[in-house]
Amino acid sequence: MDYEHVSIETPEHVSISYELAGPGSRLIAALLDHLLILLIVVAILLLCAALNAQLPASSAPAIVVMIVIGGPLILLCLYFILFETLWSGQTPGKRAAGLRVMRDDGTPVSTLDVLIRNTIRLIDFAPYLYFVGGLVAFIHKQSKRLGDLAAGTVVVKLRQSELPTSVEPGPSLPTETNGLLSLVRPLAGSLTPEELGMVQRFLERRFELAPDVRSQMARRVIDAVRARLSDEAAAFGDQDPEPLLEALAQACSRTGDRF
Q: Kindly give the confidence (pLDDT) of every residue in the chain, 259 residues in length, as a single tens digit, with 9 standing for 90 and above.
A: 445 666 665 555 555 667 788 778 888 998 999 899 888 888 877 877 776 666 555 555 665 566 666 666 677 778 999 999 998 889 999 999 989 898 887 778 889 999 999 888 888 877 766 778 778 877 888 778 899 999 999 898 876 544 444 444 443 444 444 567 777 887 777 888 778 888 888 888 787 777 888 888 888 888 888 888 888 888 888 888 888 888 888 887 765 544 3
Count of CB atoms situated within 10 Å of the CB of 90:
21
- Would you kindly state where each structural domain of the chain is located, as residue ranges? 5-158, 175-251
CB 191 within 8 A of CB 198: no
Cross-strand bridge partners of residue 154: 102
> What pLDDT is recorded for position 151?
92
Residue 171: what pLDDT? 39
DSSP code per residue over 115-135: HHHHHTHHHHHTTTTTHHHHH
Burial of 194 (0-12, 13-18, 19+ CB in 10 A): exposed
251: nearest Cα among 166, 161, 184:
184
Q: Which of 25, 33, 4 is nearest to 125 (CA)?
A: 33
Mapped onto helix, strand or coil, the DSSP state of residue 192 is coil
